[in-house]
Structure 1
Amino acid sequence: MPQPHSTHWGSFLGEVTAAGLRVTPRAADPEPSPLLRNVPAAVDHAARVRRPTVRRGWWEDGPGPDDRRGRDGFVEVGWDEVLDRLAGELARVRDAHGPEGVYGGSYGWASAGRFHHAQSQVHRFLNLAVGGYVRSVGDYSGAAAQVVLRHVLGPSELVSKGTVTWDQVATHTDTVLAFGGMNLKNSAVGAGGISAHVERAAMTAAARRGAVFVNIGPLRSDLPDGIGARWLSVPPGSDTALILGLLHTLVTEDLHDRDFLARYSVGWDSLAEYLWDKDAGWAAAITGVPAGEIRELARRAAGGRTLVTVAQSLQRAEFGEQPVWAAVALAAALGQIGLPGGGFCYGLGSIGHYGRTRVAVPIAAVPQGRNRIDLSIPVARVADMLLHPGKPYDVDGRRSTYPHVRFAYWVGGNPFHHHQDLGRLSRAVRRLDTFVVHEPVWTATARHADVVLPATWTIERDDIGASAFDPVMTAMHRLVDPPGEARDDYAIFAALAERLGAGPAFTEGRDARAWLEWLYARIAKGLADEGLPAPSFDEFWAAGELELPQVEDRGGIIGAFRADPVGHPLPTPSGRIELFSETVAAFGYADAPGHPVWLAPTEVPDPRHPLWLVANQPSTRLHSQLDFGAHSLAHKVNGREVARIHPADAAARGIADGDVVTLFNDRGACLAAAAVTDGVREGVVQLPTGAWFAPLDPAAEHPFCVHGNPNVLTRDRGTSSLAQGCTGQHTTVQLARHEGPVPPVRAHEPPV
C-alpha cells in the first residue's frame, strides 16, 4: 500500500513493488519536481555505507594530523568497538582542550523530517555530552545578504524575504527586475518539504496580464520559458554597476520618489552624491548593456508596479554584499517598498519557501540544550580555521580569532560539495586529530574521514515533515529497511551519550516514536491555541498529512512600516531603511563601506584564464544529494557532468557538443562534457555544482576531478570583511578539448 513521505523538493507516496520503490508525486502538487525520480536509487545502492568503517591509519596509529586522509585505506569494525573508541576520543579532546576543541560542522540540507534533522541531533549531542562545540553561523547560500540586510532592513527575515507573495506577483506586478533570475530549479526546493509548486503558474499568470520579466545575468535559463522574459546578458559580478546606472537615470530624470526616500530611509543624500558620475554610459562600459537600454529600463521601472529581486547567486561572489544593498536602494528610490507585488524581495525564486505565506502555528523542533561556549566562525571559513588556528580575522565589526579545533563531527552535510578550492579543504582536514561523519553513502567527505558511521536515509525511518512556510504537514512513513548495519543518527548519539555519561539527558527516556509524538503534541497545542481542532497523533499518522492554518496576509512587517513608519519602525538603528549605515561605516572596511558601492572584482578573465566560470546550483539534484539517482544520471554524458559553452568560445577551441573538455586554473582542473549553446553569455562557461568530487590522484596538491566538480576551481575567499560569506559562484578558467585517454568515473563506487 502506498505510504506518504516527503523530501525537501516535494511530498510523495512510496510503495515497494517487485520492480523496486515506486514514487508517486502528491496529487495536489500542480508541478511536481523531477528530482523525485532520484529517490528510488537510494534503496540499497552500491554507494551505501553498510557497516562502521574506520580509516586504517587512525585505527592503527591513533588520532592526530595525517596527510593520508583522503587516500588511506579503510577497515570495517563492529559498532561496540567503534563507539567505545569514539567516546574515548571525544572525552580526551573535551578534557584536554575543552569544547573549544570540537567543531560541530553538519552544514547541509539532510532530511526534511523535523526529528531526524541531522544538525539538531548532532548539536544536541555535543551540547549535552561534550558541553558545547565551535559552531558555524550563516550559510553558503546567503551569508553576505544575511549580514548586510540585517544592517539595512533589520535582523528579521520577514522584512527582506517575506515581503512579497507569488499571488501578489500574479495579480499586481508590472515589471520584475530579476537580478540573477528566478530559476525554477531553485524554487523547487524548500527546507522541510513543499506540498505544491506554484512559481511557474504565478509567473505565467503575471505575464498573461502583461507583466514584463527581465532576467539580468549571464544565463538565459534563469527565468522559465513561456513568460516572454527579456534577457539582459551581463557579465558575472557586474549587477551593482547596472543598478547604480539605473539609479543615476532615476535621479537625473527626476523619476525617483523623493517623498518615500525622505520619510522611510536614511542616508539617501550620501548615496546620491556617490552616484553623480555613475551614469548609464559608465554602467554600459562595465555591463555591456547599451546606455539607452539602461535608461529605458529605469523609465519603465518608474512607470508601474516594479519588483526588484536579487537571487542568492549574486551574493555568493566577491563583494556579494553590494548588489543586495544596491537593489534595496533601487527599490527605495522607486518608492514601492511595502506595496503588494512591488518593492524589494531578497531571494524570490531562489528557495521554494520565499514568496509564500507563513504558517500560523509554531513548527516544533528538537531542543538543542545549551552550548556552554560562545565560539563561532562564518560557515564558509572552515578551511581557514583548520589551517590557521589562532589567526585573527574581521567579520561584521568584530575582530575574532580562529579556535584550534582538533575534532570535527559532521552529520547531514557534505563539505566536499559546499566548500570551495577542494584541494585546500583536503589539506585543511588533514590538520585534524579526528574527523567523524555519519553518512548513508560514500561521498568525498566520507572518504576524507577517520570514522564513517553508516546512517539511515529518510525513506528508512519515520518522521514528520513540516515547514513554517508550507500549509501541509506530512507523516513521513518508513518505506524500506536500511541496508547492512545502518542506524539512525539518534540511535548512534544515544549510544555515544550513554558511554559519555549523558544518556538520560540526551534521550530524556524517549525512543524515536515518542519524540515524534512529543513534537506533534506541540504543534497540536499551537492549533488549540488558535481555537482549531487537531487530530490525535495516531489519527494524523493514519491520515498521512494535516493542513495547517496560514497567517492572514496584511502586508506583514514591511506593510505595517509603510503604513506607519513611526508606529511600526524597522528593526534598524534608525527605524528606517538604512541606505547609508553609520554602523557599517564605523567598521572602517575598505571592502564594505557605509553605502552600496561598485567594487570591481579582483579575479577577472586574463590571457591565461580568459573565461568566467559560473558554478551554480544543479537542476538535476539538490546540491550533491542522490547524484547517482536516475534523474541526475540521465543529464550527465557518459557519467560526467555537463559544461555549457557559448558557440563562439567552443569554435575558438575546436569543441563540439558531447566532447570531453578540461576546465583548469591554478587551483585545479576537472573534466566535463561540453554542451554548446547560446543560452550562456559569450566568455562564460557554466558548470553546476554537485557532481561528487572524484580526484584522479587524491594526494595531488591541485586536484584533477574526472567527474566534473567545479569546486576544484573556485576560490576560498570571503565576500568581504563585513560578512565573510562564500564566493563560490564565480571564478576564471581556461577551457580546452581533452586529448588522450578519458579516465573512468568511479565516484559512486565504495572505496573498500
Structure 2
Amino acid sequence: MDITRTALHWGRYDVVADGGRVVEVRPVPGDTTVSAIGPGMPEALNAPYRLTEPMVRKGWLDDGPKRGTNHRGSEPFVAVSWERATELAASELRRVIDTHGNEAIYGGSYGWGSAGRFHHPQSQIHRFLRSLGGYTDSTGSYSVGAMEVILPHVIGGDPWSIWQRGTMWPDIAEHGELVVSFGGMATKNAQLNPGGQGRSEQLEWQRRARAAGVRFVTVSPLAGDTAADLDAQWLPLRPGTDVAVMLALAYVLQAEGLHDREFLATCCVGYDRFERYVRGLDDGRPKTPAWAESISGVDADAIVDLAREMGTRRTAVNLSWSIQRQDHGEQPYWMGVVLAAMSGSLGRPGGGVASGLGINKTGVRARRWPVASLPQGTNAVSTSIPVARIADALLEPGGAYEYNGERRTYPDLRLVYWAGGNPFHHHQDLNKLAQAWQQPETVIAHDSWWNPLTRFADIVFPVATAVERRDIAAGASDLSLMAMERAVAPPEGVRTDYDAFAGIADLLGVGKEFTEGRTADEWVDELYERTRRTFADLGLEAPGAAEFWRAGGFETPEFTSVVAGDFGRLRDDPDRHPLSTPSGRIEIFSERIAGFGYDDCPGHPVWLEPHEWLGAAATATYPLHLLSNQPSTRLHSQYDGGRLSRESKVAGREPIAMHPDDAARRGLGDGDLVRVFNDRGSMLAGLRVDSGQRPGVAVIATGAWFDPEPAGAYARMCRHGNPNVLTRDQGTSRLAQAPAPGSTLVEIERFDGAVPPVRAFVPPEIIGRDGA
C-alpha cells in the first residue's frame, strides 16, 4: 500500500493506493472538520464510466461539422488515438477561426474542476484560447450572478469585494449581538473551498459567536438552513419573498424612529425617495408587517419584534447566495444593504451586511496571502455573454438582449470548447439546453467521466483527476498553502488538460506561447517560486521547494490589509473615504440604474412578484414551490457516482423532500418513487417526508447527472432526478441576466408506470476504433 497526502476541495486527505489504483481516501488524522465527500471518491475513480481514451461522436466523424441538425446526447462514439483526436480538434479550431473568426468560439468553463493553482481547467482553457487569438467569454456566475452586477452600483468596488468588506465572524463574536440570515447558513456549504480546503473553520466561528451570546434568526423556508446548536429562531417564509419581509422591517425601523438618520443622511444617497416607497406615499401601499405577512406568510408580530431588535442591537444582516437565484434576484441584495444601513450597525464592529456567511471561508477572514496561478494572457476578442444566457446565445445568434445598461447582440457561435464544469448540471431548463446544444457545428470537451457534458460532445479528451497529478492548493481566505502530491498515475490513455492543450497548440503553431517551454511539473515548481518571491516582497519567508514538498505545505500567518471602500471608514469620514459609486456614498437610490429604464429593476429596492411563486395563479396547476439547493453528498455534480452520493439516493434517484401535510394530501409516503413535473419537463425522484420545511415547498439538491428518457410517454423526463429539467431559463432581470432557478412551481404525484432504469452511469455505445 502507498499513502500520499494531498489537498482537495473538501480538505486534506491521505490517499491510499494499491497496484496503481486508489482504494481509499481518508481524512488526515486529527482533522474532524474534513468532509465525507472525499472518502467516496475511489468508486468513481475506478468506475466503468471512467474515460480512458479519446472519443469522437460517430455522426460528427462520419458527416463532419453540421449546424442545428446534430444528434448530440443520443449517438454512439468511436474511440480514437490521442494523435487523431488532437489533429481533429486542431483542424476544426483552424477552420472555424479562418472561416468565422475567433468570436465564433465559445470558451466554456465553470471552475471547480480542480483545487490546484496550475491544473485549474478554467485557467488552462482561457490561456489556450487566448494564445489562438481569443474567444467569446462569459461574464458572471451561476452562484452569485445577480450580486455581481447590483452591488457595484450600490456600494462600489469590484463584484467580489463584498467578501472582504462584509461583516466577519471574529468581529461578530467579539462585538455582535444579532445575526439575521436571509436564506440561512446551511452547514453543508461549509465543507468545501474552490481552491482547496485546509481546515474548515466556518462552524467553529459560528459556535464561538453563539457562545459569546450572539442570537441567530433564520429567515428561510427550511429550518435546517442553520446549524441546530446555534438555537436559531426560524421565520419560515414563502420562497422568493425575502424582500417583502425586509421592506416591512424597514417600515418598522422608520415608523418607530429606530433608523440611523445620520448615517442615511451623510453616507447614503436617495433614502428620502426610498422612504416614500416604504410608507406607500406614491403607490398607496404602505409596506407594513401585515402587508408582508400576506405575501410571505411570516407573522406580522414576529416582523415587528425583529425590527425593534435590529434597531437596538448590533446586527449583522447575512444574505445567502440562494436568495438571488430567483426572479428579480438583484432586489434582496440591494435591500439587504439598505436594511443594514437603516439599522445603525453598518460600519460598526460586529454589525453590517455580509454575503454568504456559512459558505466555505466566507466571514472567517477577509483575505489570504497572494498565491501565484497560471497566467491567462489577454483575450483579443471583447465579446462576452452573461454566463446563464448560453442557451439563448446558441439558439438566437444575432439576437438582441439587454444587460447592465447595455443593448447587446448574441454572437454567432460555431464551436464550443468546454473544460471544467458540467453545463447540464448548473444551467436551467435542460430540455431547452439540449436543443440549443445541437446548434454549434462542433463541441469539444475535456473530462474524466462519461457525464452529461461528454455525452453531448463531439470530440472528447479524457483527462486526469486531482489525485493523478501534482499541484499546489490554496483556498479562498485559507491560510494553508498545501502540496497536492500525485497519488497514482492516470489510467493508461489519460493525460492532463495541459497536455491536451499543449498538443493542439503545437499543431496550430502556438505551442511555445502556450507552454513557454515548460512541462506541467515545471509549471507547478515555477508557480511555487513565484509565490515565494511575492511572499518575500511582503515580508513573509516561505520554505524552499524541497522543504515545502517534504512537509506537504505550511501555514501562513493572518494577512491584514486595508480594504478599499470599508464601511467603517465611510462612517468615520465619508468625504475622505468615499465609495467608488457615482455619489461616493451607498446608493439607496441609483440614478444610473433608474436611467436604464428597466421595469424589472427600477432605481431603488422594491417588491416585485416573481413569475412563479406560491402567490401566483399558476399554483392552481402547479401548487408546490420547488427549491433546488446545493447537495451535501457531492460538490455540485462532481462525484455523483461516488459512494456517498450513490448511498443517498432513493430507489437510485435523487431524494426530494416534502412536508408531511403535502405528502398526505397526495397519498404519498416516505420512500415512494414520484414524478415531479411542470410544463417544461419532469423527473423521477425518491420521496423523503420532512417536517423541517414550510408546507407548499419541495426541496431537491442539484447535481444528479442528467439522464433524459429518450422517447415514449415520458419524453423530456430525467430518470435520475435533475431538477433543472423543471427550472425556467430566464434572467433575473435585464440588469444582471443571472439565473433564477429558485422561481419554479411544480406538482408531484406517485409514479405508477413501468419504471425506467437509471442510465446516468452507463457509458454510451462505443463502436470500434477509428484507425485513420
Letter in 2 for 1:269: D
Q: State the partner residue of 1:302.
A: 311
Whole-angstrom CA distance in 1 between matches of 2:568 and 2:28: 34
Q: State the partner residue of 1:357.
A: 365
13-22 or 274-283, larger mean C-alpha shift: 13-22
Contact 1:113 1:463 in 2 (8 A): yes
1:462-504 CA distance string (max 9 Å, x none): 0110134110011100112212311100000000000001111
Q: State the partner residue of 1:739.
A: 752
Q: State the partner residue of 1:61.
A: 63
Q: State the partner residue of 2:418.
A: 410
Letter in 2 for 1:653: R
User: Is structure 2 residue 208 aligned with structure 1 residue 208?
Assistant: no
User: Is structure 2 residue 727 aligned with structure 1 residue 694?
Assistant: no
1:573-616 CA distance string (max 9 Å, x none): 11111111111111110000010000011223422111100011
1:335-379 CA distance string (max 9 Å, x none): 211222211001212x31311324553211111122111000000
Contact 2:103 2:135 in 1 (8 A): yes
Q: How do residues 320-719 of structure 1 correspond to structure 2 at under 5 angstroms?
A: 320-349=329-358, 351-359=359-367, 361-552=369-560, 557-604=566-613, 605-697=618-710, 703-719=716-732
1:44-87 CA distance string (max 9 Å, x none): 22111111111000001101123311101111011111211211
Q: State the partner residue of 2:769.
A: none
TM-score relative to the length of structure 1: 0.97
TM-score relative to the length of structure 2: 0.95
Letter in 1 for 2:478: D
Whole-angstrom CA distance in 2 between matches of 1:125 and 1:706: 37
Q: 1:531 offset after TM fit, Å?
A: 2.5
Q: State the partner residue of 2:109.
A: 106
Whole-angstrom CA distance in 1 between matches of 2:605 and 2:11: 38
User: Is structure 2 residue 736 aligned with structure 1 residue 723?
Assistant: yes
Q: 1:175 offset after TM fit, Å?
A: 1.2
Q: State the partner residue of 1:38.
A: 40
Q: 1:94 aligns with which of 92, 97, 102?
A: 97
Whole-angstrom CA distance in 1 between matches of 2:678 and 2:148: 30
Whole-angstrom CA distance in 2 between matches of 1:359 and 1:329: 25
% identical equivalent positions: 47
Contact 1:241 1:287 in 2 (8 A): yes
Contact 1:422 1:703 in 2 (8 A): no
User: Is structure 2 residue 5 aligned with structure 1 residue 4?
Assistant: yes
630-639 or 120-129, larger mean C-alpha shift: 630-639
Whole-angstrom CA distance in 1 between matches of 2:221 and 2:104: 43
Contact 1:528 1:534 in 2 (8 A): yes
Partner SS state of residue 633, structure 2? coil
Q: Please, which runs of 5 or more residues in structure 2 have no aligned partner?
A: 280-285, 766-772
Q: Relative to structure 1, is the Cα distance of residues 598 and 702 closer, same or farther in structure 2, using a 3 angstrom cutoff?
A: farther
Letter in 2 for 1:324: Y
Contact 1:144 1:723 in 2 (8 A): yes
Aligned residues: 750
Partner SS state of residue 706, structure 2? coil
Contact 1:44 1:483 in 2 (8 A): no
Q: 1:125 aligns with which of 124, 128, 134?
A: 128
Whole-angstrom CA distance in 2 between matches of 1:735 and 1:467: 40
Letter in 2 for 1:471: L
Q: Relative to structure 1, is the Cα distance of residues 698 and 412 closer, same or farther in structure 2, using a 3 angstrom cutoff?
A: farther
Partner SS state of residue 586, structure 1? helix
23-32 or 684-693, larger mean C-alpha shift: 23-32
Q: State the partner residue of 1:52.
A: 54
Q: Relative to structure 1, is the Cα distance of residues 353 and 205 closer, same or farther in structure 2, using a 3 angstrom cutoff?
A: closer
Q: 1:20 offset after TM fit, Å?
A: 4.7
Contact 2:651 2:673 in 1 (8 A): no
Contact 1:174 1:212 in 2 (8 A): yes
Q: 1:209 offset after TM fit, Å?
A: 2.8
512-521 or 89-98, larger mean C-alpha shift: 512-521
Partner SS state of residue 5, structure 1? strand
Q: 1:205 offset after TM fit, Å?
A: 2.4
Whole-angstrom CA distance in 2 between matches of 1:560 and 1:478: 46
Letter in 1 for 2:529: A
Contact 2:72 2:458 in 1 (8 A): yes
Whole-angstrom CA distance in 2 between matches of 1:473 and 1:317: 36
Q: How do residues 223-242 of structure 1 correspond to structure 2 at under 5 angstroms?
A: 223-242=226-245
Whole-angstrom CA distance in 2 between matches of 1:559 and 1:698: 60
Q: Please, which runs of 5 or more residues in structure 1 have no aligned partner?
A: none
Whole-angstrom CA distance in 1 between matches of 2:456 and 2:563: 48
Q: 1:521 offset after TM fit, Å?
A: 1.2
Whole-angstrom CA distance in 1 between matches of 2:756 and 2:174: 53
Q: Relative to structure 1, is the Cα distance of residues 208 and 531 closer, same or farther in structure 2, using a 3 angstrom cutoff?
A: closer
1:510-563 CA distance string (max 9 Å, x none): 001110111111110122112222222122111111222322377872333233
Whole-angstrom CA distance in 2 between matches of 1:29 and 1:178: 28
362-371 or 141-150, larger mean C-alpha shift: 362-371
Q: State the partner residue of 2:770.
A: none
Letter in 1 for 2:411: P
User: Is structure 2 residue 249 aligned with structure 1 residue 246?
Assistant: yes
Q: Relative to structure 1, is the Cα distance of residues 348 and 601 closer, same or farther in structure 2, using a 3 angstrom cutoff?
A: same
Q: 1:159 offset after TM fit, Å?
A: 4.7
User: Is structure 2 residue 149 aligned with structure 1 residue 147?
Assistant: yes
What is the aligned-residue RMSD (CA, Å)? 1.7
Whole-angstrom CA distance in 2 between matches of 1:29 and 1:253: 49
Q: 1:411 offset after TM fit, Å?
A: 0.1
1:439-479 CA distance string (max 9 Å, x none): 10011111111111101111100011013411001110011
382-391 or 560-569, larger mean C-alpha shift: 560-569
Letter in 2 for 1:447: R
Whole-angstrom CA distance in 2 between matches of 1:652 and 1:586: 49
